[in-house]
Chain A
Amino acid sequence: MSIRVGDAAEAPSFQKAAFALIDDTQLRENVRHATDVITRKRAQVVAEQHDWQELRSAASAIKAHTLRYLDQYLLQFEAACTAAGGQVHWAADADEANCIILGLIQQYGAKEIIKVKTMTSDEIGLNKALEANGICPHETDLADMIIQLGRDKPSHIVVPALHKNRQQVREIFMRAMGLKELGDRPEDLTNAARRYLRDKFLKVKIGISGANFLIAETGGVCVVESEGNGRMCLTLPDVLITVAGIEKVIPSFRDLGVFLQLLPRSATGERMNPYNSLWTGVHKAEGPQQFHVVLLDNGRTGILADQEARQTLYCIRCGACLNTCPVYRQTGGHAYGSIYAGPIGAILTPQLFDMQHAQSLPYASSLCGACYEVCPVKINIPEVLIHLRGRVVRERQSGASPEAIGMKIMSRVFSSRRSFEAAQRLGWIGQWPFVSEGWIKYLPGMLGSWTAVRDLRPLPRQTFRNWWREREKGNNDA
């Protein structure tokens, strides 16, 4: 089985990618500004929700329960969706999902499709697979469209073009749409996008969407968005294909009451999304006359089997952890080498895909805990990061790396009072080659990244324990 997450296989390590991105002043300013605005709005609307913590606990409990009985809820969803006139397809991995979708499009004989709100299709590399078969996909979510027209990659799971500012969007539009003049006010850009997209909405006969929630009880699907472009995509085409990870299912309609309070507040700092679309199966003479759901595994059952990492699948893709993450705020999303960026990406990507650079992602965090604090479904991201670090050390890292050897030596040092005290003495003696004018300003090897921007005080002559010893002998004042 081949599991694919976009173009992640070609991505460099987080450290390498971050090094390059940190020099991009414009990008950092854009990311800082956008995340500041969303974080502030989120804080306001969360503060006014007095049962916020109870809502988080409820959402977390619903997700835990659903995953415990995932097989049953998925079958229930399939039965209900089918009864309402939909067709459910099961895809074990990216290739199978792409094959199913391609088959449906070819069956219809279409050469173009419109897409909205489907990160999962980015996960499986759908656009590439379609283009290779002569089918042209059009992104209709404004931010996704900016990314597509700019031949860029998304950098945020809710605001994929967050790293671009208005002036940059204007340039992309002018180039891609062949416009001679265009202002950079929001209304200028919106009008340009509207003219460009209207034509696609009216002409293209197949729509592909993602799903925020699949409702087992009714077989219904829910998509929330801000622009109304999604509503167009979901209602105008003849055929609608929804791609969703298997973890998107929730037991019943009433569960939406919990999630639809948490999601918009966490994602965009709104009390409610401007557009909340809910549909079930097909309806005569109204909306798409063919409706397909592709249920995607692509590594998710593997995550489900890992008791400590299972909570990763609770994620409702709100992006709050990205906005609050001090690491993400410095680098933006591209450093994570995956469509899933930020703290959630740092735990999801390495579990979905076994590529080289994934080893670096669990370490792309200072474990500050801000992500866990804002997560609307209470994913303890720091805990999962540490768990995955353990996996990297056990399974992937060579036992003979300088780090592994250092760690083994240190654990030996800490194993007895004698060895610890001996190491303290050795450290004091051994540091002198590096001390100049009373300070350590340069260290070799890995430790050099400390002294690149920070000085270090040398170890003091007397450790605390030696002071205590002297004091007990009565040689110290205290």
Chain B
Amino acid sequence: MKISLFITCYNDTLFPETGKSVVRLLERLGHQVYFPFEQTCCGQMHYNTGYQTEARPLMRRFVEIFKDAEVVCVPSSSCVAMMRDHYAKMAEETGDAGLMKAVDGLLPRILELSELLVNKLGVEDVGAYYPHRVTYHASCHSLRSLHLDDLPLRLLRNVRGIDLVELDGIDQCCGFGGTFAIKNGDVSAAMLAEKLRCVENTRAEVCTAVDNSCLMHIFGGLHRQRAGIKTVHLAEILASTEAESSS
């Protein structure tokens, strides 16, 4: 399958390893990955903070770049949620019938990574090897907007060597919430403290999720506390293989 990658602006800039892993993983499964260089941002930060006027051209830009893609893979549930929850309404507000039609046609072809793997490509065992104690944090958008349910967990359970431990309060927000962490730093920190307690109680080496934004928040707290726990995007675990870890 020809898969166009929307890496997202912050993965591109802050977490290139996640992007590389998505590419390695999809190619290993026999697919062709395309990276349209013109891509920038889906507009989520602007839209959710109240700058909807500024978000609109970013939506238009995204649709323009990806409208002909066979399928778009996005390794971030919150960016997919932004598109699914708001793009149709945003397009309607422009009054541009062509744009509305393009959004309608494109949305079903935009998939979060675990949706792509399990629902579209029909793979649950991607042939990964990851000999570590891992706990999974279900990000809010993955759970309550995309309704991924146990898709990421099904993928993780098939990883060889993994010691998967359940996270207490798995459905609780980590307190990131984009600009919320800045605007309401104190409440965000209190929410993070609760999340960190749960992560530390699992005695996992690694905390994973389908969103690097939550993981950046959780890791920021873990590192400050010298907790000795890493955060790793799901894609990076799924991309790991036995050959690689022995080399």
A residues near B (Cβ < 8 Å) are 14-15, 18-19, 22, 326-327, 330-331, 362-370, 372-373, 383, 386, 389-394, 403-404, 407-408, 410-411, 413-417, 420, 424, 427, 439, 441, 446-447, 449-450, 452-457, 459-460, 462-465, 467-468, 478
Contacts and interface: CB of A to CB of B under 8 A. Distances in A.
Contact of B140 (A366, A427, A441): A366
B220 A450 contact: yes
A454 B9 CA distance: 21
B19 A464 contact: yes
A326 B48 contact: no
B182 A450 contact: yes
Contacts of B84: none
Interface stretch (B105-113, B187-195, B199-207): B187-195
Interface in B12-47: 12-16, 18-20, 23-24, 27, 35, 37-41, 43, 45-47
* Contact-residue bracket for chain B: 35 or more
B111 to A, nearest CB: 19
B191 A410 contact: no
A394 B50 CA distance: 8
B221 A414 contact: no
B12 A450 contact: no
A467 B145 CA distance: 32
A464 B192 CA distance: 28
A453 B173 contact: no
Contact of B145 (A363, A369, A454): A369
Nearest to B27: A478
Given A326-B175, A463-B16, A449 B185 contact: yes
Contacts of A366: 140, 173, 175-178, 180-181, 188, 191
Contacts of B37: 417, 465
B7 interface: yes
B228 interface: no
24 contacts: A363-B184, A364-B187, A366-B175, A366-B176, A370-B140, A386-B47, A390-B50, A407-B46, A410-B46, A414-B61, A415-B40, A415-B57, A420-B9, A453-B221, A454-B220, A455-B223, A459-B13, A459-B14, A462-B16, A463-B12, A464-B18, A465-B12, A468-B23, A478-B20
A327 B191 contact: yes
A391 B192 CA distance: 29
Contacts of B140: 366-370
Interface string B204-219: 0000000000001101
A interface majority secondary structure: helix
Q: Which 3 A-B pairs have the closest CB atoms?
A: A366-B177, A449-B185, A454-B220
Given A407-B51, A460-B14, A452 B180 contact: no
B20 A386 contact: no
Given A366-B173, A455-B223, A327 B187 contact: yes
Contacts of A464: 7, 11-13, 15-16, 18-20
Contact of B182 (A386, A447, A468): A447
B interface majority secondary structure: helix
Contacts of A414: 9, 40-41, 43, 58, 61
A467 B19 contact: yes
Contacts of A367: 48, 140, 177-178, 180
A24 B14 CA distance: 37
Contacts of B49: 389, 393, 403, 407
B54 interface: yes
Nearest to B223: A455
B3 to A, nearest CB: 14
Which of B145, B171, B190 neighbours the largest number of chain A CB atoms within 10 Å of its CB? B190
Contacts of B179: 363
A385 to B, nearest CB: 9
Nearest to A445: B182
B17 to A, nearest CB: 8
A463 B13 CA distance: 5
Contact of B20 (A410, A450, A455, A467): A467
A367 B48 CA distance: 9
A463 B16 CA distance: 6
A386 B90 CA distance: 13
Contacts of B47: 386
